[in-house]
Amino acid sequence: MAACRSEPTAPEAIRALKNRLTLIDGHYPSQLMDVVLAIDIGGTKMAAGLMTMAGELIDFERVEIDHSLNAAGVFAQLREIVESQLARAVGHHQARPVVVGVGSAGPVTPNCATVSPLNIAVWRDYPLRDRLQAITQLPVYGDLDAKALALAEGWVGAAVGRKNFMAMVVSTGVGGGIVIDGQLLDGATGNAGHIGHVIVEPNGRRCVCGARGCLEAEASGPAIEAITGRSPTEPTYDIMVRTGKLVGRAVASVCNALDLDLVVVGGSVALGFGATFFNAAQDSLSEHCQLSFSRGVRITPARLEDRGPLIGAGAVGMRGMHRNARGASAR
């Protein structure tokens, strides 16, 4: 769904809807439905969508990142789809965005006050939260994209009812979100879960982070193309098996260290490679998880598929809103 310049701005759409709905006595026939404006920042694409408070994605738009643009230009791409979704919320869905949730490739600072996605070179310490608050006039809460996916899969996806699991993305980048005893791990700076920077090939390829042999440098979409000369959308059987084995190897280290029993994997590379990738990953995981507590750990595709990142971003927004409400009631 392409962004549409001809649609009214969000404030114009809200005023137009109120004019249509107002009755003679000055009341509205129904309340507008509260929704979350969800935003996903990846390495090659950005997306914005509308999510209900029950976790249903009712609208979305995506845009390919133009890496020839400067920092302001990339944000202008995001602004276009954000403003379009705000307008569609009111004009098409009779909905009212009440909060913004962001899932971004990292590193990030808390609540995405600043973001530095490794695959968006012009965004280094980019003040994303302030920029989004300025154009939406809504509270903004953010987290890493893979941590957001963990929230989504634990809420309405493949990890419902699980208390110790990891969700990860294998796409342009590779990231993870870890849940222990039902709590999403943040770490000292909020960047816990960067499984893409677990070393799987000592003395391997140089990663964008500066190290060598990181999982991201060996198994991400750009890495696969650099190593094989083939687009990850046209893989050979051997490419899919190698990628799966490397992911399984990295995952095994985390499961052995943290006593996890499930790994949920999304992202265009993993989901695009399908059963061949997941079978190879499971074989590698089983080979390297031989401790009594880690034997039997499973790796499975993300149930939410390509909706997961935006539902995860929406979950981040809801979490922030609820935390803020609890903090206000405690004061």
* Each residue's pLDDT tens digit, 247-299: 999 999 999 999 999 999 999 999 999 999 999 999 999 999 999 999 999 99
Pairing of strands 183-184, 174-180: antiparallel
* Total-model pTM: 0.87
CB 321 within 8 A of CB 139: yes
pLDDT tens track for 177-207: 999 999 999 999 999 999 999 999 999 999 9
Q: Place 27 in a pLDDT band, splitting at 50, 70 and 90.
A: very low
Per the structure block, which two tokens stand in for 27? 């009341």
Closest CA to 96 of 47, 39, 142, 31: 31
Residues 18 and 138 in one domain: yes
CB 329 within 8 A of CB 48: no
Domain annotation covers residue 127 = yes
d(CA 228, CA 44): 20
Closest CA to 74 of 36, 140, 128: 128
d(CA 21, CA 27): 8
Residues 164 and 247 in one domain: yes
* 293-329 per-residue burial string, b: 16 or more CB within 10 A, e: under 16: ebeebebbbbbbeebbbbbbbbbbbbbbbeeeeeeee
| No. of helices (H) and no. of strands (E), the chain | 10, 10
Report the percent of the chain where pLDDT is more than 90: 87
Average pLDDT, the chain: 91
Q: Place 12 in a pLDDT band, splitting at 50, 70 and 90.
A: low
CB 297 within 8 A of CB 289: yes
How many independent structural domains does the chain possess? 2
- Cα→Cα distances 144→141, 243, 261, Å: 11, 23, 22
Choice between 29 and 222, residue whose per-residue pLDDT is larger: 222
Residues 213 and 109 in one domain: no
CB 37 within 8 A of CB 81: no
**Domain span holding position 44:** 10-144
d(CA 313, CA 319): 10
Residues 38-60, mean pLDDT to the nearest whole number: 96
Q: Where are the beta strands (DSSP E) in 201-271?
A: 262-266
Per the structure block, which two tokens stand in for 245? 């084995």
Q: Where are the beta strands (DSSP E) in 208-325?
A: 262-266, 298-301
Residues 202 and 129 in one domain: no
pLDDT score at 28 = 36
d(CA 324, CA 265): 30
Last residue of a domain, one of 144, 175, 190: 144
Q: Which residues contact 245 (CB under 8 A, 6 or more apart)?
A: 280, 281, 283, 284
Q: Is the pLDDT of residue 13 over 80?
A: no
Pairing of strands 262-266, 183-184: unpaired
Task: Report the chain's terminal Cα–Cα distance, integer Å.
Answer: 44
Residues 57-77, mean pLDDT to the nearest whole number: 97
Residues 118 and 175 in one domain: no
Domain annotation covers residue 317 = no
Half-sphere exposure of 97 (CA within 13 A, CB side): 38
Residues 130 and 203 in one domain: no
pLDDT score at 22 = 40
pLDDT tens track for 114-169: 999 999 999 999 999 999 999 999 999 999 999 999 999 999 999 999 999 999 99
pLDDT score at 252 = 97
Whichever domain contains 268, its CATH number is: 3.30.420.40
Domain annotation covers residue 323 = no
